[in-house]
Amino acid sequence: MQTRKSDSIVIQIESEQITCNRKDWLQHIPQVTGVYCFHDQDDKLMYVGKAVNLRQRLNQYQSAGRRKKHRKMRLIRRKFFKICLSLCPNEAAALLLENQLIRYHQPPYNVAGAFYFMYPYLAFHYNEPAREFSLIYTSQPHEEFSEETKFFGCFRSRHLSKEAFQALSHLMGFLGHLDPKLSQAHRQGTYTMAASFRQIDPYWQQSVNNFLAGESIGLLGQLAEALLEKPQARHQATEIQASLKILKRFFHLEAERLKLVLSRQGIAGTFVSQEDRDSLFIQDKHQQLG
């Protein structure tokens, strides 16, 4: 590939391609909705993004300052030698195209959406005769889990979902007895965590189900009330409140949001595949925007 001078860049808009000066390239960018792809000097794709107004959005890269939140923009601005634009009829079409390109190419500067196969699920299994309750976090829902294991998700945030798993495990530990051997038995797959407890009342099964399904946040009030009767929990009031706060945030940002989208799209149950999640949310957003 022929090396270009550092003060010039290539802009490709659909099938049309022009070479221009790095200082005034923005004037060649149309003020329309579309998807933009930054390429480096070896023509390798660096980053994919979408914009309602391409010129306004790309101007943010050109004017990115020294603030920490602008670091990625500054890096891309310094390294890119080519930008390809795909024009779209509306924002929904741009969102879908952006998502498809990110998932297919996995550009190094795209994180959100590129690793959809890592989107997590939360699940639980309750053995009523033995009063055993197991809570599971996994990104591999099709591993060899028992048929009685109920899955919820997938959710978007691995960090928040993992925090919710840890918080709920922490609180359930005051209601029963942690069983390390049973926990290990439920750790199916590489990206899986499990916490299993003995002597858990069947009462909690429906409350946990409704919470993870995004149907009711009542579990948190029930947990708070039950833990008031546990001396050990009262001694850890600060930690208890922190766990409840994490679970509340997870419910509103992940579980409730997923439930709402599934309901609006006419999808029964509590499960959506990792591959379909992003496109489902994009479709729902487009419908809500009219």
Contact 272, 214 (CB under 8 A): no
What DSSP state is assigned to residue 82? E
The side-by-side arrangement of strands in the sheet containing 82-87 is 16-21, 8-13, 82-87, 34-39, 45-51
- pLDDT the model gives residue 242: 97
The count of other CB atoms within 10 Å of the CB of residue 50 is: 22
The mean predicted confidence, pLDDT, of the chain is 91
Contact 9, 22 (CB under 8 A): yes
Closest CA to 53 of 32, 38, 72, 71: 32
CA distances from 191 to 4, 22, 86, 119, 255 (A): 44, 44, 36, 10, 20
Please determine, for residue 283, whether its predicted confidence score (pLDDT) is greater than 70.
Answer: yes
Interval 37-80: pLDDT, tens: 999 999 999 999 999 999 999 999 988 877 777 788 899 988 99
Query: For residues 25 and 277, what is the distance between their CA atoms, to the nearest angstrom?
Result: 36
- pLDDT the model gives residue 144: 61
pTM equals 0.74
Please determine, for residue 112, whether its predicted confidence score (pLDDT) is greater than 90.
Answer: no
Which residue in this structure is represented by tokens 């020294």? 66
Please determine, for residue 238, whether its predicted confidence score (pLDDT) is greater than 70.
Answer: yes
Q: What is the mean pLDDT of residues 224-244?
A: 95
Residues with Cβ within 8 Å of residue 223, at least 6 apart in sequence = 171, 244
Q: Which domains does the chain have, with CATH numbers?
A: 8-105 (3.40.1440.10), 116-289 (no CATH)
Please determine, for residue 146, whether its predicted confidence score (pLDDT) is greater than 80.
Answer: no
What does the DSSP assignment read for 104-161? HH--TT--TTTTGGG--EEEEEEETTTTEEEEEEES-TTSS--TT-EEEE--S-HHHH
Greater confidence, 68 or 15? 15
CA distances from 189 to 142, 161, 162, 182, 287 (A): 9, 17, 16, 15, 37
Query: For residues 61 and 273, what is the distance between their CA atoms, to the nearest angstrom?
Result: 34
Query: For residues 20 and 12, what is the distance between their CA atoms, to the nearest angstrom?
Result: 11
Q: Which tokens sit at 106? A: 């996995």
Q: How confident is the model at residue 113 (pLDDT cuts 50, 70, 90)?
A: low
Please determine, for residue 9, whether its predicted confidence score (pLDDT) is greater than 80.
Answer: yes
Q: How confident is the model at residue 143 (pLDDT cuts 50, 70, 90)?
A: low
Q: How confident is the model at residue 5 (pLDDT cuts 50, 70, 90)?
A: very low
Q: Which tokens sit at 141? A: 């829902």
Q: How confident is the model at residue 154 (pLDDT cuts 50, 70, 90)?
A: very high
